[in-house]
Amino acid sequence: MGVFAMVYLVGGIVYQRTVMHARGWRQIPHYHAWAAALGFFWVRFFVVPLVFFMRLLSMFSRDGQKRGSYSLAN
């Protein structure tokens, strides 16, 4: 499996560089697919939980009461 990955990567980079005249990150074979996949995982496993926990924390005000709740003491 490792040999196949190396042949895929090196062969793809050589092709992108020589035939397509790509430079930088665009040399990686199927760059757009890999970038979209990494973006999906970034959002799914980092951004969504971060937003969830930030909303959970923002439900409580500084004095410890839940926002929007009514208390008898002002």
Domain ranges of the chain: 2-58
For residue 18, the surrounding DSSP H or E stretch is helix 2-18
Average pLDDT on 19-36 reads: 93
Average pLDDT on 17-40 reads: 94
Q: Is the pLDDT of residue 74 over 70?
A: no
Mean pLDDT of the chain: 85
66 has which bridge partners?
A: 60
Average pLDDT on 29-45 reads: 93
Q: Which long-range contacts (CB under 8 A, 24 or more apart) does 58-63 make?
A: none
| pTM across the whole model | 0.56
pLDDT at residue 10 in the model:
96
| DSSP sequence for 44-72 | IIIIHHHHHHHHHHHTB-TTSPBTT---S
User: How does DSSP classify residue 43?
Assistant: I
Average pLDDT on 4-25 reads: 95
